[in-house]
């Protein structure tokens, strides 16, 4: 479209002007980030308040709606409680027609969005400004030719977009912003932890939030963990202090890693993991991973 306008206004020898220009785009946040929210379940909550309020007999899992999604595995894992909770790869949740519709409507990591012509016009304007500033041949045009080109391209784009929306009127709302989808997602993430399944990372496991919290505390009471009376802020400060000895490490966000879970379907247990991205230990973890990669060939040679 831009080349077309350029050729018409400036001349045929403009065909090579934009040869080096590459147009890229970024993805919207993926569906997983909207559904899998371990931080909300296992990190950002008031422990005392939850413990006080939690009553296994009142867990949403007890309602008839979830009866057939409750599993014996929850009793085996949390023997102290003796109540069944939802742990499921159950199709009655993953087959939710709205969620499926979203996945079907596009590549599953790009929720299809309604076309906001004004927004695209703005973005295209910004893009053209950059193009004019960075492509030498365009930059050398007079200011009035530049703005004439811009206006013409934007007008042409608008006509194309209007024509497009007329032909594709049925896509009117971005599914994730649709109230019905929003309600479903809030409902699901409010009651359940949706976590990946071991060996099948794209298959979500739906687990009762209360159950998984309780299970996490059970894990933490085992002898290999020691409870320390330190506030998160002072723990972060201490880690930062120790890591400051390594001058090469870049600044890290002042956040502690938190628990995440992966369901091992065959063994009917959970594997606990923590996040390494975006925490105070991330740069150190990256450095360690890097060192291990360096050592790998040596170890391989040694073992041969």
Taking the complex as a whole, the smallest distance from the CB of residue 148 to Zn ion amounts, in Å, to 50
**61 near Zn ion, rule: CB under 5 A:** yes
Contact set for Zn ion, span 149-188 (CB under 5 A): none
Closest Cα partner for 164 from 200, 117, 108? 117
Taking the complex as a whole, the smallest distance from the CB of residue 50 to Zn ion amounts, in Å, to 13
Closest Cα partner for 93 from 20, 158, 176, 184? 184
Please check whether residue 25 is in contact with residue 50, taking contact to mean a CB–CB distance below 8 angstroms.
Answer: no
Contacts 24+ apart (CB under 8 A), 20-27: 20/135, 21/131, 21/135, 23/127, 27/109, 27/110
Site string for Zn ion, 272-291 (x = CB under 5 A): ------------------x-
Contact set for Zn ion, span 188-227 (CB under 5 A): 208, 210-211
Closest Cα partner for 163 from 219, 115, 107, 214? 115
Contacts of 187 (CB under 8 A, 6+ apart): none
In terms of CB distance, is 17 or 211 closer to Zn ion? Answer: 211
Taking the complex as a whole, the smallest distance from the CB of residue 168 to Zn ion amounts, in Å, to 43
Taking the complex as a whole, the smallest distance from the CB of residue 285 to Zn ion amounts, in Å, to 13
Among 85, 99, 259, 279, binds Zn ion (CB under 5 A): 85
**59 near Zn ion, rule: CB under 5 A:** yes
Site string for Zn ion, 16-55 (x = CB under 5 A): ----------------------------------------
In terms of CB distance, is 131 or 208 closer to Zn ion? Answer: 208
Distance between CA atoms of 48 and 70, rounded to whole angstroms?
A: 26
End-to-end CA distance of the chain: 60
Taking the complex as a whole, the smallest distance from the CB of residue 57 to Zn ion amounts, in Å, to 10
Distance between CA atoms of 190 and 10, rounded to whole angstroms?
A: 58
In terms of CB distance, is 17 or 270 closer to Zn ion? Answer: 270
Taking the complex as a whole, the smallest distance from the CB of residue 54 to Zn ion amounts, in Å, to 10
Taking the complex as a whole, the smallest distance from the CB of residue 176 to Zn ion amounts, in Å, to 26
The strand ranges marked E within the chain are: 70-71, 85-88, 192-197, 200-208, 259-264, 269-274
| φ, ψ dihedrals at 140, nearest 5° | -80, -10
From the list 56-64, 161-169, 231-239, 245-253, the region that binds Zn ion by CB under 5 A is 56-64
In terms of CB distance, is 90 or 174 closer to Zn ion? Answer: 90
Size of the site for Zn ion (CB under 5 A): 7
DSSP assignments along 8-46, one per residue: HHT-GGGGGTTTT------PPPPHHHHH--HHHHHTSS-
Contact set for Zn ion, span 232-251 (CB under 5 A): none
In terms of CB distance, is 83 or 150 closer to Zn ion? Answer: 83
Taking the complex as a whole, the smallest distance from the CB of residue 35 to Zn ion amounts, in Å, to 18
Binding residues for Zn ion, per CB under 5 A? 59, 61, 85, 208, 210-211, 290
């Amino acid at each position: 479209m831009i080349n077309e306008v350029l050729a018409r206004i400036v001349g045929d020898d403009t065909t090579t002007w934009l040869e080096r220009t590459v147009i890229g785009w970024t993805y919207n946040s993926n569906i997983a980030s909207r559904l899998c929210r371990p931080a909300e379940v296992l990190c950002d909550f008031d422990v005392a308040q939850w413990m006080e309020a939690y009553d296994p007999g009142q867990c949403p899992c007890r309602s008839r709606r979830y009866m057939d999604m409750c599993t014996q595995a929850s009793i085996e894992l949390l023997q102290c409680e003796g109540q069944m909770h939802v742990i499921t790869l159950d199709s009655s949740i993953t087959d939710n027609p709205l969620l499926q519709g979203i996945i079907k409507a596009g590549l599953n990591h790009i929720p299809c969005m309604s076309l906001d012509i004004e927004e695209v016009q703005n973005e295209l304007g910004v893009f053209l400004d950059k193009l004019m500033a960075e492509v030498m041949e365009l930059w050398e045009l007079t200011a009035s030719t530049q703005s004439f080109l811009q206006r013409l391209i934007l007008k042409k784009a608008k006509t194309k977009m209007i024509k497009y929306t007329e032909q594709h009127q049925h896509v009117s709302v971005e599914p994730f912003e649709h109230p019905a989808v929003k309600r479903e997602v809030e409902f699901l993430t409010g009651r359940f932890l949706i976590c990946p399944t071991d060996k099948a990372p794209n298959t979500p496991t739906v687990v009762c939030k209360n159950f998984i919290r309780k299970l996490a505390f059970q894990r933490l009471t085992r002898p290999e963990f020691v409870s320390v009376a330190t506030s998160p802020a002072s723990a972060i400060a201490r880690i930062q202090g120790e890591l400051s000895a390594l001058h090469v490490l870049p600044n890290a966000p002042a956040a502690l890693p938190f628990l995440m879970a992966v369901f091992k379907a065959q063994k009917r247990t959970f594997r606990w993991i923590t996040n390494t991205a975006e925490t105070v230990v991330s740069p150190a973890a990256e450095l360690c991973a890097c060192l291990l990669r360096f050592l790998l060939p040596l170890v391989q040679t040694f073992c041969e």
